[in-house]
Amino acid sequence: MKLQMRYADMWGCSKMDVSQYLEIFIDETKEHLQNLNEQLLILEREPDNADTINEIFRAAHSLKGMAGTMGYKRMQRLTHDLENVFSEIRNGKISVQASMVDVLFRGLDALENYLDVITNSGDEGDEDNEDIINDLNAFLGGGQPEAAAGAAPAEAPKKEEENKGEFGSVFKDLKVADFEQHAIEKAKSEGQNIYGIRVVVDENCILKAARAFLVFRALEEIGDVIKSNPEVQDIEDEKFEKDFIVLIITKESVDVVKNAVLSISEIAQAIVEPFNLDLSVEENIEKSDGSNVTGANADSPKSKASTAAATATAPAPAAAAKAKKADEKKPGGKPVVNRSVRVDIEKLDVLMNLVSELIIAKNGLVSLNAGTGHDDGKRSSSFNEQIEYLERVTTNLHESVMKVRMMPIESVVNKFPRMIRDLCKKLDKKMELFMTGEETELDRTVIDEIGDPLMHLLRNSADHGLESNEDRVKAGKPEVGSIFLDAYQDGNNVVIEVRDDGAGIDLERVKKKAIEKGTITEEQAETMTENDLIALLFRPSFSTAEKVTDVSGRGVGLDVVKSKIEGLGGDIECKTVKGEGSTFTIRLPLTLAIITALMVELGDEKYAIPLGSIQTIEDIPCSDIKYVQTREVINLRGNVIPLIRLDSILDVEPRDEKPESLTVVIVAKGEKLAGLVVDNLIGQQEIVIKSIGKYINNNKIISGATILGDGEVALIIDANTLV
């Protein structure tokens, strides 16, 4: 009988959804891949750095174990071959070469592609990457025998010979019931093979029962398991030392059976012999074809405590689905959207304490509401005290939750050194990336979205900004170009600068290109300032490149970057000096969830203007309003600032009376200023931003809505779109 039914009973269900562990796997795989990329860059510069080599090997080994545990065979196979190369480097048998590093990076890229497919579908796809595997094996000197994880190659044959007698005697004592004997005889008559397998678990394995379960699942993919020693229940209860024995009927060869067992992480050894007890000492482990996704995990590699913590309470592995079967895929085939945030336990303690105080405040208000024996004066005083206490707690709670949502920008920018390294080769330019402020924190929502715009700006600097090596030398510059990425906090905003020491933007060329495209007329071009010309670069589909490349633009201009940044409530500006370089400055809000805003009135309606955009609030006499090219402006302390009548833009019914002066909220976007005319100021208030999504069609002036204390809804004005 198939062991699948036994293990259905053993784990309490016939199938469990592996997605409960998938997010952990995705998170930790991203960390390992990023670590491998960073360490490989160091290894390329310092080929003899022993610490780096050891760190690379450990990360590759952990990644291989995780992929195997989850049942991603193709990913595991590629990682195993990468690990073999790292192992040979560590043992001093091969040296690091430039061509080897290129192949290793190709391997990491392939692993990232596997991860992308897994993230989107829960399945690793069908790409085998044989070309990369062949190149990796070529560095091993024509395919040396691979050793099981954790065991030195020279020791494996010796171990099997030492254990031959012990294994044979245990197998001889294995009692086979009549119905099992009948199944064996029938299998023999049909030309099938019957093997006994001694499985040895790594001595450092934490959850042996979980590893045993994965072994059985792997064997079920290639045959029928008819017997085990100890029995299934004892294996479930971990009532075995380091090894157990399995009897299997299969059409496969000894090698395939052995490979199926050794594909499981933390399995130190697998001795397979036919039912006639002829011992095989074959060591050349071949990978299975990867067409099956067996999988379940009860623990991750021991190097990752976070995954172990999620599963250490009980050995409860989840059976992964076969990749090819639609009924075992994730429901609806939806992408695996990773929305997790790792939180320091101290931050959670603070949150817990604040929630406790919130409950105390609530109880105090309830007590006051039901209280008797207090005169109205004392009751009113106590009520006010409780409200003040509640306000303090909620403010602290807000700040604490914001900190929990914050993540260092390091998680985004750490992938860029590798990208610049690849661009050096692709563009045949010498360049170096310098980064500061990686520890600067941003809201997780912003972190998720900022990566692509920054990547585009860096590619733009590498492709268009920096000159060729020859041109730099002719201009008296260092041959190696420099690109800088700096991040820092400025008030309630985070500023990210991408700059280079290249040729700068040729504004005359921009002007000429804009006239050719019909974007502007020659008359308009004559009156345009430097900032106006730079603003043309952010127009849709505008590019000065003579030909489209796959490095920077790919036919998509900076307008996409601008739209993305403004969609996050930020803004972008550019400054350039011809012959010296360009700087793109991005300003982003710290968080998108809760902000401080100025509440204003327009007619009978209330609106919120984010405080981060506001410079000052002025009372301007109507007589001070001037006109420049039919536009209303004011002269405020030497600055000419355009006025924007919000009631007109938002189609709000104006008030009947004509005031002698206007209340003007001065807002800023970079160095640009504008004055928003409002009817009345209500005051400063912390507001919770609610998305209006598909409910309202607007031209981006409204960025969301908030619910006020009296239940009214106030729209939030995005000042960036007005300036």
Quick check: helix, strand or coil at residue 396? helix
pLDDT of 330 above 50: no
In 3D space, the residue among 480, 67, 461 whose CA is nearest the CA of residue 293 turns out to be 67
Query: How does pLDDT run across 613-651, given as a tens digit for each residue?
Result: 888 999 888 888 888 888 888 888 888 889 998 888 888
Of the candidate CATH numbers 2.60.98.20, 3.90.1150.10, 3.30.70.1110, 3.40.640.10, the domain formed by 3-11+151-328 belongs to 3.30.70.1110
The pLDDT confidence band at residue 334, using thresholds 50, 70 and 90, is very low
Question: Three-state secondary structure along 153-220?
Answer: HHHHHHHHHHHHHHHHHHHHCCCCCHHHHHHHHHHHHCCCEEEEEEEEECCCCCCHHHHHHHHHHHHH
CA trace torsion 82, 83, 89, 93 (10° rounding):
-100
The pLDDT assigned to 436 comes to 93
Residue that has been written with the tokens 């075995």 in this structure: 240
- For residue 126, how many other CB atoms are within 10 A of its CB? 11
Most confident of 134-143, 156-165, 668-677: 668-677
The pLDDT assigned to 534 comes to 87
CA angle, 51 as apex, 46 and 56 as ends, to 5°? 85
CA separation, residue 61 to residues 109, 138, 296, 441, 707 (Å): 17, 20, 18, 31, 51
Q: Are 39 and 59 in contact (CB under 8 A)?
A: yes
The pLDDT assigned to 122 comes to 79
The pLDDT assigned to 458 comes to 92
The pLDDT confidence band at residue 276, using thresholds 50, 70 and 90, is low
Instruction: Reply yes or no on domain 19-139 having CATH 1.20.120.160.
Output: yes
H-helix segments, 626-702? 646-649
pLDDT of 167 above 70: no
Over the Cα atoms of the chain, what is R_g?
A: 33
Query: How does pLDDT run across 350-398, given as a tens digit for each residue?
Result: 888 888 888 887 777 777 776 655 566 666 777 788 888 888 888 788 7
The pLDDT confidence band at residue 153, using thresholds 50, 70 and 90, is very low
Cα 546 to Cα 536: distance, rounded to the nearest angstrom: 17
Cα 264 to Cα 304: distance, rounded to the nearest angstrom: 17
The pLDDT confidence band at residue 135, using thresholds 50, 70 and 90, is confident
Q: Topology of domain 594-721, per CATH? A: OB fold (Dihydrolipoamide Acetyltransferase, E2P) (2.40.50)
In 3D space, the residue among 501, 496, 435 whose CA is nearest the CA of residue 462 turns out to be 501
Residue that has been written with the tokens 């590619």 in this structure: 459
The pLDDT confidence band at residue 303, using thresholds 50, 70 and 90, is very low
In 3D space, the residue among 493, 488, 496, 498 whose CA is nearest the CA of residue 439 turns out to be 488
Q: What is the mean pLDDT of residues 293-316?
A: 30
Residues assigned a catalytic role: 61, 83, 460
Q: Are 71 and 48 in contact (CB under 8 A)?
A: no
The pLDDT confidence band at residue 332, using thresholds 50, 70 and 90, is very low
Q: Are 644 and 676 in contact (CB under 8 A)?
A: yes
Query: How does pLDDT run across 47-60, given as a tens digit for each residue?
Result: 888 889 989 988 88
Name the DSSP letter for residue 57: H
Structure tokens at 576: 């350039």
For the chain, what is the mean pLDDT? 76
Q: Are 568 and 592 in contact (CB under 8 A)?
A: yes
Cα 467 to Cα 488: distance, rounded to the nearest angstrom: 28
The pLDDT assigned to 581 comes to 92
The pLDDT confidence band at residue 499, using thresholds 50, 70 and 90, is very high
Segments making up each domain of the chain, as ranges = 3-11+151-328, 19-139, 345-408, 410-589, 594-721
Name the DSSP letter for residue 12: T
CATH architecture of 410-589: 2-Layer Sandwich (3.30)
Query: How does pLDDT run across 105-121, given as a tens digit for each residue?
Result: 999 999 999 998 888 88
Query: How does pLDDT run across 412-471, given as a tens digit for each residue?
Result: 888 899 999 999 988 999 999 999 998 888 888 788 888 889 999 999 899 888 999 999
The pLDDT assigned to 320 comes to 30
How many percent of the chain have pLDDT more than 70? Answer: 77
Cα 720 to Cα 703: distance, rounded to the nearest angstrom: 10
The pLDDT assigned to 557 comes to 65
The pLDDT assigned to 512 comes to 87
Question: 482 or 362: which carries more pLDDT confidence?
Answer: 482
What residues contact residue 589 under an 8 Å CB cut-off, 6+ apart?
443, 446, 492, 493, 494, 568, 569, 570, 595, 610, 612
Quick check: helix, strand or coil at residue 507? helix
Evaluate whether 3-11+151-328 and 410-589 have a shared fold. Answer: no
pLDDT of 127 above 60: yes
Cα 136 to Cα 345: distance, rounded to the nearest angstrom: 42
Structure tokens at 644: 């924007």
In 3D space, the residue among 286, 61, 256 whose CA is nearest the CA of residue 151 turns out to be 61
pLDDT of 549 above 60: no
The pLDDT assigned to 396 comes to 82
Query: How does pLDDT run across 6-55, given as a tens digit for each residue?
Result: 333 333 333 344 556 788 888 888 889 999 999 999 998 898 888 899 89
Buried-exposed string 283-303: b where 16+ CB fall within 10 A, e elsewhere:
eebebbebebbbbbbbbbbbe
pLDDT of 695 above 70: no
